[in-house]
Amino acid sequence: MIKEFKQFIMRGNVLDLAVGIIIGGAFGKIVSSLVDDIIMPPIGLLLGKVDFTNLFIALDGNTYASLAAAKEAGAATWNYGLFINTLINFIIVSFAIFLLIKQVNRFQKPAPVEEAKTKDCPFCQSAIPVKATRCPHCTSQL
């Protein structure tokens, strides 16, 4: 059983998957930093010095100075600013994956075009072999 497990782990696609997951986790952190530290501050500045991480609605009806203060008080909150950040993260990651897949598909060889094995008889429109010289259905000379 250990031998079978070792063979399973050493297969190429399992190792490729592991590498993909590790790189994906690192890429996710880069994108999160890009959104939180580079993209959202100018957007917040343009919208009137809004910090998206502090956009929330306290469900208990009270007003809190920040999200940290609301959480410290134990208030239930809707954190729509964090949701906006996460949504932008998702869009950027999705677009990056789209570009990557597009490039990979560009470098792959196109599938070979299979030659047609049949053609239509011009007289009776029946399917006949391409090399046929007489239609087996209507006996017309081709």
CATH of the domain at 33: 1.10.1200.120
Tally of domains within the chain: 2
**Cβ-based neighbour number of residue 89 at 10 Å:** 18
Amino acid identity for residue 139 in this structure: T
Q: Are residues 92 and 128 in the same domain?
A: no
pLDDT above 80: residue 42: yes
pLDDT of residue 48: 78
Could you give the 3-state DSSP secondary structure of residue 17? helix
Measuring CA to CA, which residue among 38, 63, 46, 66 is closest to residue 54? 66
Could you give the 3-state DSSP secondary structure of residue 99? helix
The tokens of 38 are what? Answer: 């580079």
Q: Are residues 76 and 128 in the same domain?
A: no
Q: Are residues 129 and 99 in the same domain?
A: no
Q: Are residues 17 and 79 in the same domain?
A: yes
Please tell me the pTM assigned to this model: 0.54
pLDDT of residue 35: 80
Question: Which pLDDT band, with edges at 50, 70 and 90, does 33 fall under?
Answer: confident
Q: Are residues 26 and 65 in the same domain?
A: yes
pLDDT of residue 12: 63
Q: Are residues 46 and 100 in the same domain?
A: yes
Choice between 72 and 89, residue whose per-residue pLDDT is larger? 72
Can you give the residue range of the structural domain that contains 130?
116-142
